[in-house]
Structure 1
Amino acid sequence: MAMRDHYFQVPLDYAHEQSPEIEVFAREVVDGKRCSDETLPWMVFFQGGPGFPANRPMDYGGWIAEVLKTHRLLLLDQRGTGLSSRILPQSLAQWKTPEQQADYLSHFRADSIVRDAESIRYTLLGREKPWTGIGQSFGGFCLLTYLSFHPEGLSGVLITGGVAGIKQRAEENYRLTYQKVLEKNEAFYRHYPEDEERVKDIVAYLGAREVTLPSGGRLSPRRFQALGLCLGGDGGFEQLHYLIEKAWIEGKDGMELAYDFLVEVEQMHAFDTNPVFCILHESIYAEGYASSWAAERVRQEFPDFSIRPGARLNFTGEMIGPWMLEDFVYLRPLKDCAEILAQKDDWGRLYDLDQLAKNQVPIAAISYYEDMYVPIELSRETALHIPHFYQWVSNEWEHNGLGKDGAKIVSTLMDRLMAPRL
């Protein structure tokens, strides 16, 4: 591979001509033997999240190698991530009030990410030359926003595990995902039945005392329960099982939670290091209404997730709650900011249903039948709403299929994208 780094200055707020600027980073990647080939078409990658940077290539393999057979690839660090004016508790401390922090963060959703991509396209390709978009998970949400408001910038779209529901409120999404997380719990405990009692013991221990993690955060029963976020990926069952089996060690006062267990618990949650994923997560669904901690409200409809002494613990999934702003020590200064954003009721549009209904850009997507994060029911409804949309539905992979078997997935989707239209 040959790589080149790009830095772009873009407006924080595209709606105002006098807006301050932020920096957006993207890494251009091309086959080393073809780096001088100016005829190669471009493909731009949108990462999942929200709040995570694009891949850092380590070797010539996987889905990136498949793309480089035919394209010049741009790995985009979405605003606020990676090297793009990244958002951390430290950087947000520059603003004096929670209101100022919230106003700044309100410009970091998919609509602004897409405007950044268009600005970059003008610079690298020119206004008249479109490129292909590829999006994983939340990256697919971004591409549906792109198709809604700037379809002229796209010659084709590939989506892996990210066909968003475009007609539903956040609550409807969570009613489906809570049910799917329950199904994952059933499968997990069938596979590792010995973990049911182990988990009960850990929860009882956490409920009886304050347990502090190495960084200073609190390991509450709710934080332990939220480790189920990993259950929706290939290898997630094993990751959680191997963590649980090493939980205990004998200390000077008897059995206690082991230090390496506590370290790994912290490593499994990236909320401190990627605060956008927590603070702006529910805003990715909101159009003209406040999310108001939708996942926490819908949780009350699912008593199976209650934490009760002696009862089986059902792990939760991709559900964000206000309690996280207490348990995660570096998020505590952002508690008021997060509350302001949760109650913000004037979010702009993310999708144009009329434009999508007359779409002319070819789309090829894979949706995972057992996806714990992006419900297949909503993905299917979206695919049926948009013309020229090929949807491959499979239970061969989980949500992280692109990372597990990306070459096969991208190759198949590219073939469908390039197939003649009937």
Structure 2
Amino acid sequence: MGNSFVRPGYACTDHFLDVPLDHAHPSGPAIRVYAREVVAPGRRDDDLPWLLYLQGGPGNKSPRPGSMPAAWLARALQDYRVLLLDQRGTGRSTPLNRQTLPADPKAAAEHLRHFRADSIVRDAELLRRHLIGDRPWSVLGQSFGGFCTVTYLSIAPEGLSEAFITGGLPSLTATPDEWYRAAYRRIAAANERYFTRYPGDQEVARRIAAHLDRADERLPGGERLTARRFQSIGIGLGHSAQFDNLHYLLEEAFIGGDRLSDTFLHGVNAIVSFAAQPLYALIHESCVSNGTASNWAAARVVEEFPEFAPQADPFRFLGETILPSFFEEDPVLVPLRECADLVAAHEWPALYDPERLASTTVPVAAAVYYDDMYVDREMSMATAAAIPGIRTWVTSEYAHNGLSADAAVLDRLIALRHGEA
């Protein structure tokens, strides 16, 4: 146990635990995982049920109370003692980046094989036993955290008393190519919604892409900004707040008529740089590689969609797509290019056990967002049909970030779980 502190609304306690890098070899090398316990200040001594929160990603640290939008947390603290886990390789857990990975690309790629949802779940099980012994706990999985939750239900359902999932029911059967083929159709629809709201931005975006083909514009890290990398600022189009923030960024793109402004370039860098989350870029495609290799699926499948060419008219942004070119342009990823190729070629084991899911008795409630840019609605519903007793709430009221934007989302799921909605 580490430091404790109290701030308005939250009483927090740090927890660290050494866990095996490879859970199949518990006596081998260890890494450290970190989790922050959060409880309402007046309930620190109460015997509350625990709720493990699994963050979206992969490669994102858990939210820091008070510093990030997390409307769900206040609602959760009415009933639970919450544990915010920095999934292995992120935040205050043993970090994974170009500075800490083995220098040899093959060794680095082998190291990265232990950072998917199955390892995260096994870390969580060790944490559970460390904190509360044999008692099961609740889990709330957002986005990739929902993928982890379905993995949890597949390999360690005895650790769970209930499960909540928001925007994170994965496909149990889709290949990476099928996943990204569906993803590009959703990204195109998100572009349509965006340019319908901000029609003037179509000309601005086309102008920027054309300008980047002929001009040497540099990001704060010193690398040239290409038109293809500029397209990737659309990654936030599935989030309600960032949908509008993109427009405000484009408003200040040009200065003096023929140069991109420092304001714009710094804003773009904040979106496209993987300095804070290199693990996201390295293993993103592995999260949809359920018993197969990805082989850079997003880059291969985009060739089937010429409307996403950087100079296509109308212009379209990309979404949650990791391309090999990022490892040639982003300074924090450049040293990891050969490693990334090896990861992309790796044949990953399956993450989900359909037979075990079909026999689960864990109560599950899930929010499925109708126009989710990141997770396919039809694939999610097919997975829901494979989990007996799951209660699903399909809604077009919220974007992918509904959980953090409105406490009513978690409130609705809790009501569903208890048969009150």
2:415 corresponds to: 415
1:323 corresponds to: 325
What is the total number of aligned residue pairs between the two structures? Answer: 411
Question: 2:139 aligned to 133, 146, 149, which one?
Answer: 133
Tell me how far apart the structure 1 counterparts of residues 396 and 351 of structure 2 sit (CA, whole Å): 29
1:275 corresponds to: 278
2:228 corresponds to: 222
SS in 1 for 2:123: helix
Contact 2:167 2:367 in 1 (8 A): yes
1:396 corresponds to: 397
1:289, CA displacement in angstroms? 1.6
Letter in structure 2 aligned against 1:105 = L
Report matched runs for 1:334-413 at 5 Å. Answer: 334-345=336-347, 347-405=348-406, 407-413=407-413
Instruction: State the Cα deviation string for residues 250-303 of structure 1 (Å, max 9, x = none).
Output: 2xxx62100010000011235222011111000011133210001111111111
Letter in structure 2 aligned against 1:222 = R
Distance 1:61 1:210, change over 3 A: closer
Letter in structure 2 aligned against 1:408 = A
1:420, CA displacement in angstroms? 8.3
1:172 corresponds to: 178
Tell me how far apart the structure 2 counterparts of residues 22 and 129 of structure 1 sit (CA, whole Å): 25
Report matched runs for 1:10-409 at 5 Å. Answer: 10-37=19-46, 39-58=47-66, 62-92=71-101, 95-126=102-133, 128-250=134-256, 255-308=258-311, 311-345=313-347, 347-405=348-406, 407-409=407-409
Letter in structure 2 aligned against 1:154 = L
SS in 1 for 2:38: strand
Letter in structure 1 aligned against 2:189 = E
Q: Please, what TM-score do these two structures have when normalized by structure 1?
A: 0.95
Contact 2:63 2:70 in 1 (8 A): no
Q: Please, what TM-score do these two structures have when normalized by structure 2?
A: 0.95
Letter in structure 1 aligned against 2:90 = T
Tell me how far apart the structure 1 counterparts of residues 206 and 372 of structure 2 sit (CA, whole Å): 27
Tell me how far apart the structure 1 counterparts of residues 342 and 292 of structure 2 sit (CA, whole Å): 13
Tell me how far apart the structure 2 counterparts of residues 270 and 76 of structure 1 sit (CA, whole Å): 23
Tell me how far apart the structure 2 counterparts of residues 389 and 175 of structure 1 sit (CA, whole Å): 27
Contact 2:70 2:404 in 1 (8 A): no
Distance 1:355 1:63, change over 3 A: same
Tell me how far apart the structure 1 counterparts of residues 276 and 52 of structure 2 sit (CA, whole Å): 25
Instruction: Give the ranges of 4+ consecutive aligned residues of structure 1 lying more than 4 Å apart after TM superposition.
Output: none
Contact 1:218 1:329 in 2 (8 A): no
Tell me how far apart the structure 1 counterparts of residues 290 and 380 of structure 2 sit (CA, whole Å): 18
- Stretches of structure 2 that go unaligned for 5 or more consecutive residues are 1-9
RMSD of Structure 2 on Structure 1 (CA):
1.5
Identity of aligned residues (%): 45
Instruction: State the Cα deviation string for residues 219-242 of structure 1 (Å, max 9, x = none).
Output: 100011111111111023311111
Contact 2:19 2:32 in 1 (8 A): yes
1:61, CA displacement in angstroms? 7.3
SS in 2 for 1:89: coil
- Stretches of structure 1 that go unaligned for 5 or more consecutive residues are none
1:206, CA displacement in angstroms? 0.3
Tell me how far apart the structure 1 counterparts of residues 70 and 376 of structure 2 sit (CA, whole Å): 29
Tell me how far apart the structure 1 counterparts of residues 253 and 408 of structure 2 sit (CA, whole Å): 37
SS in 2 for 1:329: coil
Distance 1:61 1:21, change over 3 A: closer
1:244, CA displacement in angstroms? 1.0
